[in-house]
Structure 1
Amino acid sequence: MKYSELVESGATEAKRQDFLAEGEQTPITLRVPKNLKDAAAEAARLRGVSFSAFIRNCIINELSGRS
């Protein structure tokens, strides 16, 4: 199932979050300004999570409608 199909079917926020958190991990490269990366890394440290976990959580929140 695609994410768009899940959304169109009216799945709950929790089901969308579960779908987004599942699956095989894949590496990606993002090009962002250094100040943005440093600020995000600092925010992650303040929350006690890794930079990767912080970014994943931000993406999941945005896609699931929790932003």
Structure 2
Amino acid sequence: MKYAELIGGGASTSQRQDFLAEGDPTPITLRVPKNLKDVAAETARLPGISFSAFVRSCIINELAGRD
């Protein structure tokens, strides 16, 4: 199933989040300003999660919340 089919089929936010969190990890390179990366890493440390997990969470929340 493709993500567009979930959106078109009226899947719940939870179902969309589950779909986005599945799959094998794929390495990527992201170019962001150093200040942004430093603040994001610091923000991730506050609840005790990794920077990578924080970025994944932000992306999933943004995509799953869209209709």
Output the TM-score relative to the length of structure 2.
Answer: 0.94
2:27 is aligned with 1:27:
yes
The aligned counterpart of 1:36 is 36
**Alignment partner of 1:3 is 2:37:** no
> Residue 58 of structure 1 corresponds to which residue in structure 2?
58
Normalization by structure 1: what TM-score? 0.94
Which structure exhibits the higher relative contact order, with contacts defined as CA atoms closer than 8 Å and separated by 6 or more residues?
A: 2
Offset at 1:30? 0.3
Unpaired runs of 5+ in structure 2? none
Q: CA RMSD in A?
A: 1.1
- How many residues align structurally? 66
Tell me how far 1:5 sits from its aligned partner: 1.3
> Would you identify which runs of 4 or more consecutive aligned residues in structure 1 move more than 4 Å?
none
